[in-house]
Structure 1
Amino acid sequence: MIQRILPRAFSGKASSFLRTATASQSTLAQPLQKDDTILPKMPPFDYTPPPYTGPSAEEILSKRQRYLSPAVFHFYKNPINLVEGKMQYLFDDKGRRYLDAFGGIATVCVGHCHPQVVDAIVNQTNRLQHSTILYLNPAIADFVEALASKFSGDLKVVYFTNSGTEANELALLMARLYTGCHDVISIRNGYHGNAAGTMGATAQSSYKFNVVQSGVHHAQNPDQYRGIFGSDGLKYARDVEEIVTYGTSGHVGAFISEAIQGVGGIMELAPGYLPAVYDTIRKAGGLCIADEVQSGFGRTGSHFWGFEAHGVMPDIVTMAKGIGNGIPLGAVITTPEIAKVLSYRSYFNTFGGNPVCTAAGLAVLRVIESENLQKNSFVVGSHLKQRLTSLKEKFDIIGDVRGRGLMLGVELVKDRQLKTPAKMEILHIMEQMKEMGVVIGKGGFFGNVFRITPPLCFTKADADFLVDVMDYSLSKL
């Protein structure tokens, strides 16, 4: 849907060719200043945020620069001061509305401030918030039962953590204790967390994430776009065989991977790779860990968990991010046999599985089911991918469109043959899209891949607006 006037989401500070939109909620913006260019129209949304009375963006930025670690960064030259969110939309301090095409992967699985999740959190907070599972409470019992029902086979024992990093750290610890072996194999360009162990396993997603750690071996990435074997998963899997044979004693503790690399640029592992690798690892006495922190909870549309698309059954599965719709929550699920190993050690997590977080987690599962969000992810994601693929045919700068469901990536390159990363161009386009009312993520080893991971309540109209804005921004590059 397009119009020749600027929607309210575009008001305030806009590009040089635009007039400032009117401040009235009931009227549209002024016509364009120059050539009456047709601009995408944001889908209507029946909500107006109350006036914001807090500190300005400049004041907040000043405090961040003065008191926060220099490692903390922000998107955009002029960062957005976000003060409210509703479902798939965000609002800044001026009341401008933005379509959130990224935050779903990080925080909001079912939508910003989903009323059922908010009610669950508030109601539980009013009753009880405690530290660990040292006492009985129905919140954790109900959630763990519902979560375990989402797995088949013998994956039935759950441990709760506060984040994906903690979940992956615990999974690696359990595998090493269970197998008695310290050696772990992970995939280059993968991402598993921000603690010492998980940063070691993260390999080469970026040198900033990688921390050298003994016993960690990095296997060739089964990258279907840039990899030397294309989409031949079996050829990539031979590298794992060689690591087992020549890089270890022939015995390994674990293999860990994402089904779709998130931070690594929404990279789907080559077909046939995981089944072959799982077979190799198990023959070497190791356990197979599936990192579902980003690809879980119906995001891929075709399956509830990303690993299911590969036809494998992990020994341990980790999850976080969307599990609590913004509440700090993570989980590890494994078999009763493997779970026993922690009973011989002293493991506890102060806040993992607390009543408020598990109440939120249960509400998320119920919303996914009641609103049929996995199917929505498949339907809307398929439509969105098709439209993005059409953009690839229009713009040579798009080298690849990939992913599934509402976990999609668009890789930008300066030259399709050489696949030269368009690192500066993507920053320019992100700025342009933000000015037009769309916030989007980026990732990949070179930082040249759009990460499109919106809340699962995304609609076809939202998808069309996103693509139309990207189309317009690319045309002005």
Structure 2
Amino acid sequence: MTLAATMKSLPTGYCKLLNPIRLNAVSCRYLSSRDLRMPPCDFVPDKYESLPYEHVVGVRKKNLSAALLTYYKKPLLLHQGHMQWLFDHKGRRYLDLFGGIVTVSVGHCHPKVTEAAKKQMDRLWHTTNIYLHSPLHEYTEKLTSRLPGKLKILYMTNSGSEANDLALYMARLYTGNYDIISLRSGYHGASPYTLGVTAISAYKPGVANSFGCHTTMCPDVFRGIWGGSYCRDSPVQTTRTCSCSPGSCEAKDKYIEQLKETLETSAAKRIAGFIAESILGVGGAVQYPKGFLKEAYEVVRERGGLCIADEVQTGFGRTGSHYWGFESHDVMPDIVTMAKGIGNGFPMAAVVTTEEIANAFARALHFNTFGGNPIGCKVGSAVLDVIEEDGLQDNCKTVGTHLMLELSKLRDKFDIVGDVRGKGLMIGMEMVTDKKSRRPLPAEDMNVIWETCRDHGLLLGKGGLYNNTFRIKPPMCITKEDADFAVAVLEVAIAEYLDTAGK
């Protein structure tokens, strides 16, 4: 059947509801199994009346850093956002499954968060923290009440890099040791200090940065040397097989041996600390074998080090089962860092630690001009309320599990979908040339699929050591209907790529 004939056979009104710019014969072949209609949205964006598109592109090239990348062949000019939706300058709607790089936690321009910011702007924009102001103290009490154990002392900063920078400094000052251990493929910031623990070469400019940082093998049970079919705390496991007996995990033991070897060969006998994300973010939603992080903490503490949980992407209920990602690993960190979703896009971040560690840090004056800003604190407080009132942690668990299980069907259907992994709405889909070799799908091929998704109204991130993992970390308010639409688009995009490539 021709494309025209296929379109003609669709129900009345169907074509008007189809969001993609282009719909070819390959797309139409998959309409029978999945619905490509974008879920409805009553929100109507304002008319775009700012700089013309060509002028914006010109300013970008002329006046902004060449190190700032843009997504897509023809970069999006975004104009407005509403919950899980983004609108470009022409009013076209997109389902945002990347959430401003995992930053929009409760939804673009969530009414309650927006109202909190507006009210505070009318009252007090900024004052130094040398003075008392209620937004900071109300937020401090509210946030620390959500952390377990002795994690009760709060430091407010402005970004995740700054929070991790402060945490590393704190660990070194408290322990009197210097060496820091992190995981290969982990990302903790791009400031000169945090670049030492960020272990992805793309972020390394080739000049000296933080010294005394050592990396150990990333315990990736899909791409790593060891892994099996029961390793992960996830509704979807790898297709690798293993012969582990119940209650044991050979992969976990092997990766712990690698950590011990790193400590024996690369670090001093006494170390300052170990920093790790609960699930790798930029590194491609990599999950460790169950029990790895708990045993790693024990090994690190035997060497005198503190354990730092980087919750910049996994915190605030995103993993579904717990409020903080580290809780799923049954560990108690000494320091927790958080950013991104903490302010739903407002530039704020935090470090939380124990009174004992904080007291050691008080040997010198510590001050942050904008950390604890009144507007930021009101925004952060509203975010905490919305997560609870809108049931977003449970939504992450319910919708995230549904989405992963549906994505796993694509893995079973297409040889180039190597792995689906994650927890809650912290998901990765790793693309390969074929499952047997597990070779990363080349960048140009990834981009074909990625661009097609964008053409159909779906925005995804990319990450992983080889940049071959689709990062799916949307606003936590998405629905099952949104998830089904996303899977339908991905299925069509992959099918189109394979059809065009003759595979």
Task: Say whether the fold is shared (TM-score over 0.5).
Answer: yes
Q: Are positions 1:102 and 2:109 aligned together?
A: no
Distance 1:436 1:260, change over 3 A: same
- Counterpart selection for 2:358 from 339, 359, 364: 339
Equivalent-residue separation in structure 1 for 2:257 and 2:64 (angstroms): 45
Equivalent-residue separation in structure 1 for 2:27 and 2:78 (angstroms): 28
Return the TM-score normalized by structure 1. Answer: 0.93
Q: Unpaired segments of 5 or more residues in structure 1?
A: 19-31
**1:37-79: per-residue Cα shift (whole Å, max 9, x none)?**
6660001111111221112222111111000000011100011
Report the AA paired with residue 111 of structure 1: G
Secondary structure at the aligned position of 2:314 is classed as coil
- Counterpart selection for 1:224 from 214, 221, 226: 221
Q: Are positions 1:354 and 2:373 aligned together?
A: yes
**1:170-214: per-residue Cα shift (whole Å, max 9, x none)?**
000000000011100001000000101111101236454786532
Give, in angstroms, the shift of residue 36 of structure 1.
11
Give, in angstroms, the shift of residue 34 of structure 1.
8.9
Q: Are positions 1:53 and 2:49 aligned together?
A: yes
Distance 1:79 1:349, change over 3 A: same
The aligned residue for residue 22 of structure 1 is none
Give, in angstroms, the shift of residue 341 of structure 1.
1.9
**1:288-310: per-residue Cα shift (whole Å, max 9, x none)?**
00000000000000111111111
Report the AA paired with residue 424 of structure 1: E
The aligned residue for residue 72 of structure 2 is 76
Q: Are positions 1:111 and 2:107 aligned together?
A: yes
The aligned residue for residue 10 of structure 1 is 19
Give, in angstroms, the shift of residue 247 of structure 1.
2.4
- Counterpart selection for 1:249 from 268, 285, 294: 268
The aligned residue for residue 403 of structure 1 is 422
Count residues in correspondence.
Answer: 461
Report the AA paired with residue 47 of structure 1: F
Distance 1:35 1:409, change over 3 A: closer
Give, in angstroms, the shift of residue 104 of structure 1.
5.6
Return the TM-score normalized by structure 2. Answer: 0.88
The aligned residue for residue 461 of structure 1 is 481
Distance 1:89 1:7, change over 3 A: farther
Equivalent-residue separation in structure 2 for 1:348 and 1:69 (angstroms): 29
**1:395-437: per-residue Cα shift (whole Å, max 9, x none)?**
1110000001001000000121111111222211111011111
Which aligned pairs between 1:74-153 and structure 2 lie closer than 5 A?
74-103=70-99, 105-153=101-149
Q: Do the aligned partners of 1:17 and 1:33 also contact (CA within 8 Å) in 2?
A: yes
Equivalent-residue separation in structure 2 for 1:322 and 1:205 (angstroms): 26
Equivalent-residue separation in structure 2 for 1:9 and 1:121 (angstroms): 36
Q: Do the aligned partners of 1:205 and 1:263 also contact (CA within 8 Å) in 2?
A: no
Q: Bigger CA drift: 423-432 or 454-463?
A: 423-432
- Counterpart selection for 1:323 from 342, 345, 350: 342
Which aligned pairs between 1:192-341 and structure 2 lie closer than 5 A?
192-204=188-200, 206=202, 208=204, 212-230=209-227, 231=231, 232-341=251-360
The aligned residue for residue 24 of structure 1 is none
Instruction: Give structure 1 regions of 4+ aligned residues with deviation exceeding 4 angstroms.
Output: 32-39, 209-212
Q: Do the aligned partners of 2:19 and 2:38 also contact (CA within 8 Å) in 1?
A: no
Equivalent-residue separation in structure 2 for 1:252 and 1:229 (angstroms): 27
Equivalent-residue separation in structure 2 for 1:199 and 1:345 (angstroms): 25
Q: Do the aligned partners of 1:190 and 1:258 also contact (CA within 8 Å) in 2?
A: yes
Give, in angstroms, the shift of residue 105 of structure 1.
4.5
- Aligned-residue CA RMSD (Å): 2.0
Secondary structure at the aligned position of 2:284 is classed as coil
Report the AA paired with residue 54 of structure 2: E
Give, in angstroms, the shift of residue 242 of structure 1.
2.2
Quote the sequence identity (%): 48
The aligned residue for residue 155 of structure 1 is 151
Q: Do the aligned partners of 1:104 and 1:322 also contact (CA within 8 Å) in 2?
A: no
**1:334-383: per-residue Cα shift (whole Å, max 9, x none)?**
00000012211122111011100010000000000011100000000000
**1:217-265: per-residue Cα shift (whole Å, max 9, x none)?**
1111111111112142222112222232332331000100001000000
Q: Do the aligned partners of 1:234 and 1:276 also contact (CA within 8 Å) in 2?
A: no
Q: Bigger CA drift: 281-290 or 95-104?
A: 95-104
Q: Bigger CA drift: 38-47 or 434-443?
A: 38-47
The aligned residue for residue 245 of structure 2 is none
Equivalent-residue separation in structure 1 for 2:200 and 2:190 (angstroms): 13
Equivalent-residue separation in structure 2 for 1:208 and 1:469 (angstroms): 34
**1:268-288: per-residue Cα shift (whole Å, max 9, x none)?**
122111111110111111100
Q: Do the aligned partners of 1:161 and 1:351 also contact (CA within 8 Å) in 2?
A: yes
Distance 1:395 1:464, change over 3 A: same
Equivalent-residue separation in structure 1 for 2:326 and 2:462 (angstroms): 23
Secondary structure at the aligned position of 1:344 is classed as coil
Report the AA paired with residue 19 of structure 2: F
Equivalent-residue separation in structure 2 for 1:350 and 1:305 (angstroms): 27
**1:303-326: per-residue Cα shift (whole Å, max 9, x none)?**
111111111000000000000001
Distance 1:305 1:205, change over 3 A: farther
Secondary structure at the aligned position of 1:267 is classed as coil
